[in-house]
Each structure stands twice: as structure tokens, then as C-alpha cells.
Structure 1
């Protein structure tokens, strides 16, 4: 008897094309056809494994064939690290906690979360470039003015050299931000399963505030153990001690996500206050500029751009953390 095995979907041969501009909803639609998902489904059929393509990631220890355990590591996001943002007083960046995909999730859910995080990472790269581009323009104007005044004997060579060094430092940062725009798009394209189709324009999603508070910790753990297909596959056939370890891992992850949401709420208030202040400061600088009084309008504009970028970063992290909580409970993120 011949066993029919579905062909693996090749990322370069996937039937759907990546839209341009690309919305978050459209991007998430590519998750189920990604090679990470289709390869797992194919290997499950080949092995006679009852775990479907929503089964747990291999890194969690799910019993599977050597072929199914083949899973190349994913690159870290360049900008969006929500755990590090929330727990700013903790030790250095924690790569494992900063990524949204987890070994406790099914493959489709993990892929959707990766796409979401990559999508937000591209938007942050664009905002970071806008911030650094404005900062470089301001630094260049200050340096250029200093050179002109130095020639008139009104500025010291030391101060001019300092402004030139500042300009070159910011210019370097701008170059890095510009390069990051391409790298983050390449990572998103890979997460979509279309590594050669880098999306040029992304549609910034409207992130509505949460309509309700998340469930209590015990309720989240109970729902996750009952509804998460990855966890069910992970616990199947395990002994009592192993199942206890899984339950502890789920509780630990849920607690971290709930705590992160609480911290992000506080950070959101801080960034909103900063943004409001920068808006008022820009209005003041614009008024002084129109009155031909002394005002650094360019600096105020660059600081406003930075404040808005930071505000969006927190909004992205809040949305991503809620999606992680949903995925942990077996819901579609």
C-alpha cells in the first residue's frame, strides 16, 4: 500500500503573491502555507503520527521522527523586544523571552506570532529611520552653522569639532537604520514564506485598546491545557512528572505575559505623556520661529518624531503580548 505524502510547499513556489501595500491581516494569512507548518504536517503523515500541523514545536520535546525535529532557528527581531522593554531594570536582553513564538504553541500559532512580530519590526524600522533622518538633518545644520561662524571668528574650533563628531555619529546611526529597513523586510518576507518578495509598503494597523481585562492566571492555565493543541500533543503519553513540568512551564509563561501587560500599561502612560509634552514643545518652537525669536525648530521636530516612535513601540508590544496570551490558550492570535 502506497502512502500519499503531500508535497512540501516551497517558499519560492507558493501560489499566493505578497500584496503591496501589505496589511497585517493579509500577512497573517500566509502562516498556514509556510514551510515550517507544511513540513510538520507532511512528516506527521509520513510517520503515522496523530499530531496534526498544529502540533507542538519540536524544541519542546514532542516525540517525533528525526525528520520532524529538523527546524532551523529563527533570527531575532532587530527592534521589537517586548520582554526587554517591559522589564527594563532586569539583566541584558533576553532573546528567548523577547520572541513571541514559543515551544508551547502549535506551529500555525507560532508562525502567526512570528509574522506579527516581524510586521511590527518593519514598522519600527521605518519609524527609527524617520527619527534618525531628522536628527541627522538637525545635527548637520548645527555643524554647518558652526563652520560658518568659525570662519568669522565667532565660534571656537573645539566646539565646531564637537558638533562635527556629533553629526558623524548620528549619520552613522541613520545609515544603520536605513539598512535595518531592508533587513527587517527580509525577515518578514521569510516569515511569510516568500524570501524573495520583500514588501515595500506596510499598512499600519489600527490597534484598538483591549475591551476587557485578560483572564486570571489560573483560568489561562486551565484553558491552555484544555484547548492548546500543541500542549495536548506535548503531554500525550508522558508520565506524571513530565506533565507536571509542562504545566509549570505554561503557568510560568502565562504569569510573565500577564505581568508584562501590567508593566506595558505603565510604560504607555509614560510615553503618552512624553509625546504630549513634545507636541507642546514643538508648538512653542514653531511660534518662536515664526516670531524670529531664538528657537531650535528642527530639534523639537526630531524629538517629537522620537516620542511618537516610542509610543508606537509600546502599542505594538501590548498587541503582541495579548496575541501571545491568546495563542497560549489555543485561540487564533
Structure 2
């Protein structure tokens, strides 16, 4: 009775200790929050946060962990198994038995190992290894997509700010004009209709300013989500100083060839195809013979002819009939292989098309950038002219000139960001999107590949 009470107390103490540790760990996990965003936030700082914990990256890491576990399990298929087998038994021996003891206890130490299974374990290990490589390649693609999303969200914030500045200036100009017309209206110089017309113009400008202000908050919220910091809206976002993005385009065919070779999604599917081929071989080996070795040492409380102190055994298993289970397994794995091969073909077509579309976009953006830069220079000169006339107290449209220059500045920045993102997406399709190579034109990468090929 005393021992039961002691054991019960020990059990309660252990349970309380476990609960305390669990609650403490949970509280510690809850207290861990991402660090605050840098202020001001630059594109370089934002991209440095791309590899921080994020649900998409965690999903990719979980898939890798599952693939590693599968590989470990496949390689353990023919590992040595060591275990103890024990039993406590009470028997009633027959009257003619020489040993009338009732105890028939036994304890054995066993060692089992599959010595050869004619390719089953080897095929399973190869399939798991290929699946692991496929998961790692998909993680690369996830990291690339994270960087692209952060770039896109960062550029959206900068453009939203520029859009707000443009509509804020427009509203200010229209308000000044409305104020002047109110003074003239009080002097009976204009009609009700003219005043209401200007009031409508001002209210439209005010509404556009309000929309652009909301757009600022929306884009900042999306950027915070992309950086895995929901609710931490960055206040100051520095417009990025982009490298030289006006570069000569390589031939589209060479880019497509390189993308089909280096794209992580395509490479991942190729690894999956090889994994499925190995699974077909594993299924075919389902009815192959197997050879197992067994060592056993035992201790017994009762002597029997079937009890051995030590036993070494070599066992050969040859399946004769399995009711078509092997054929069904092979058919299932072949169907999976055919599906993966089809997915690979679709992915290759998609990559080729994406490279072509980005190539055409970059080619079109050349002319667009020249047009936007020319318009920006024109608006800048026109603004200087309007400012000079205003200082000379000559009638000038200074307010409108400022609005149009801000709009031209925003349009030029938008085109630069479109070009930078197109280069970045093209590099991602080529399997390369490091922080230092985000906007590197693929021409340099192609030259690097040709140099490597020649050295080999």
C-alpha cells in the first residue's frame, strides 16, 4: 500500500513538472516576436529579411524534413534490428511429464538483418533520395518567389507615395483656385455655375488624394505581410537606387535553353521523374526473394527440447503467389510516373513561354523608358520656365507644372521598376536570384556559363 502511494505521488509530481515546462515553453514561443522593421526601410534591408521564418519557407522546410525522414526510413529497410523478447508463463504439465514445474519463463536476445532483397531497398532509397533533392530545389524556388514578392511590394509602396504626392499637389492647386473664385464670387464677378464647376473639380481632386492616401496604407500592409510582420507598417520607405538596368538583351533562344537547364521547378520535376522510376523498380521487386539472417541467445526457466541457448539462422523467402498485388503496385507507380512526366512537359513549356514574354517585355520597356525619361526632362524644363515666369510676376501655370512634373517623375520610376522586376524574374527563371544578382542581366550569366564550359 505504501509503495502505491509513493508511486502515485511521484506520478503527480512528474505530471505537474511536465505541465509547467510545457506552459513555460509555450509562453516563451508566444513572447518571441519578429524584430521591428528598420527605419527607414531600404530595398536591400527588405531583401535581407527574405530568408527569415515565413509560412511559405516553413512549408518548404517541412517538406524537406519529411523527405529526409522518408530517406532515413528507406535506408533502414535492411538495417540490423536488435530486440529482447521475454515472456512469463504458468503451465500445468501433464502427469507423464518428468518436469512438473509450473514456471515456463523465457528471455531471448535477438538480432535480425536482411542480407539481400534483390534491389527492393536500393530502389526505395534511390526514390527517397531523389524526392529529397526535388524538395530542396523547390525550396530554392520558394526563396526566389519570396524575393520577387518583396521587390514587388516594395516598389508598390514607393509608387503609392509618388502617386500621393502628385494628387496632394493637384488638390492644393485646385483649392487655391477655388479660394480665388470664392473671392471673385463674393465680388459678383463670376456666376454660381462657374463656382460650382470649380468646386466639383476640387472635390474630384480631393477624392483622388484620399484614394491615393488609402493606397499608401494598403501597399504598406502588403509589404509588411510579405516581410512576415503583419501590422508593422513601415513609415519611411527609401526609393531604391537601382543599378544599370538598360542592358543589351541576349538571344531569347539561349535564355530559353539556359532556363530549361537551370530552372529549379523544372529540375525538381526531373528529380521527381527519377524518383517515380525508382518507385516502379521498387514495386517490381515486391515479389523478389529475400535473405534474412538471425542470431538468438536465450535463457529459460524450464528445459525443453525446442529451447536453445544460442541459435544462428539463415532464411530464404521466395514468394510464389501474391494475388496480383505486385502487378497492381507496379501499375500504380507507372501511373504516377506518367503524371509526373506530363507535369514536367507542362513546366518546360511554361518556362519557355515565360522567358519569351519577359524578353518581349524588356524589349518593349526600352522604348517606354526612353519615352518616360524624355517626358520627365520636358516637364522639368517646363517647370523651370513656369517658375521663372512666376518669379517675374508674369501669369504662369506653376501649380499645374508642378503636378505634371510629379506625375512624369512617378511614371519614369514605375517604368524603371517594371524593368528591374522583369530582369529579376528572368534571373529567377534561370535559377539565380541572389541579393547581388537580382538585377544582373542574364547576358553576363550566359558568358559565365560559356567560360565554365570551355574550362571543362
Do both proteins adopt the same fold according to a TM-score greater than 0.5, normalized to the shorter chain?
yes
CA displacement 1:46-77 (0-9 Å, x = unmatched): 25441335407xxxxxxxxxxxxxxxxxxxxx
Which has the higher Rg, Structure 1 or Structure 2? 2
Q: Is the 8 A contact 2:137 2:268 kept in 1?
A: no
In structure 2, do the counterparts of structure 1 residues 111 and 13 end up closer, same or farther at CA, with 3 Å as the change threshold? farther
Residue in structure 2 matched with residue 169 of structure 1 by the alignment: 204
1:232/1:265 Cα in 2 relative to 1: closer, same or farther (>3 Å)? Answer: same
Query: Are the structure 2 counterparts of residues 159 and 21 from structure 1 closer, same or farther at C-alpha, using a change threshold of 3 Å?
Result: same
Q: Which residue of 2 aligns with 1:315?
A: 416
Check whether the contact 1:120–1:316 (CA below 8 A) recurs between aligned residues: yes
1:23-62 equivalent positions in 2, closer than 5 A: 23-33=42-52, 34-47=54-67, 48=70, 49-50=131-132, 51-52=134-135, 54-55=137-138
- Tell me if structure 2 keeps the 8 A contact 1:11–1:35: no
Q: Structure 1 length as normaliser, TM-score?
A: 0.78
Shift of 1:147: 1.4
Partners of 2:260 and 2:352 within 8 A in 1? no
Q: Is the contact made by 1:28 and 1:112 (CA closer than 8 Å) also made in structure 2?
A: yes
The structural deviation recorded for 1:215 is 2.6
Task: Sort the Cα spacing of 1:191 and 1:142 in 2 relative to 1 into closer, same or farther, 3 A.
Answer: same
CA displacement 1:252-285 (0-9 Å, x = unmatched): 1011101111111111111111111111111121
Contact 1:20 1:200 in 2 (8 A): yes
Q: Deviations over 1:211-237 (max 9, x none)?
A: 742332222222222222222113431
User: 2: distance between equivalents of 1:25 and 1:180?
Assistant: 23
Q: 1:195 aligns with which of 230, 234, 239?
A: 230
Following the alignment from structure 1 to structure 2, what is the Cα–Cα distance between the partners of residues 11 and 116? 29
Residue 407 of structure 2, aligned match among 289, 301, 306: 306
The one-character-per-residue Cα deviations of 1:131-187 (angstroms, maximum 9, x if unpaired) are 000000001111111111122122222121111101101101101111111111110
The CA distance in 1 between the partners of 2:246 and 2:370, in whole Å, is 18
Aligned equivalents of 1:257 and 1:26: distance in 2?
A: 26
Q: How far is 1:203 from its partner?
A: 1.9
Over 3 Å counting, the alpha-carbon distance change for 1:26 and 1:164 in structure 2 is same
Out of 211-220 and 119-128, give the one that drifted further.
211-220
Distance in 2, Cα, partners of 1:216 & 1:14: 47
- TM-score with structure 2 length normalisation? 0.57
Asked if residue 148 in structure 1 is aligned to residue 183 in structure 2, the reply is yes
Work out whether residues 154 and 223 of structure 2, in 8 Å CA contact, stay in contact via their aligned partners in 1: yes
Indicate the residue corresponding to 1:139 in structure 2. 174
Tell me, yes or no, if the aligned pair for 2:34 and 2:229 is still in contact at 8 Å: no
Give the alignment partner of residue 283 of structure 1, picking from 375, 379, 384: 384
8 A contact 1:12–1:193 mirrored in 2: no
- Helix, strand or coil: the match of 1:52? helix
Once structures 1 and 2 are overlaid, which stretch shifts more, 284-293 or 130-139? 284-293
Match of 2:107 in 1: none
1:15 Cα shift?
A: 4.7
Which residue in the other structure is 1:213 paired with?
Answer: 248
CA distance in structure 2 between the partners assigned to 1:121 and 1:11 by the alignment: 32
| C-alpha contact (below 8 Å) 2:269/2:343 kept by paired residues | no
CA distance in 1, matches of 2:240, 2:371: 22
Partner of 2:18: none
After superposition, the CA RMSD in angstroms is 2.1
Report the alpha carbon displacement of residue 11 of structure 1 after superposing the two structures with TM: 11
Is 1:23–1:202's contact at 8 Å kept on the other side of the alignment? yes
Distance 1:324 1:11 in 2: 36
User: Where do 1:1-40 residues align within 5 Å?
Assistant: 13=32, 15-33=34-52, 34-40=54-60
Q: Which residue of 2 aligns with 1:325?
A: 426
Note the residue ranges of structure 1 that are not aligned, 5 or more in a row.
1-9, 57-104
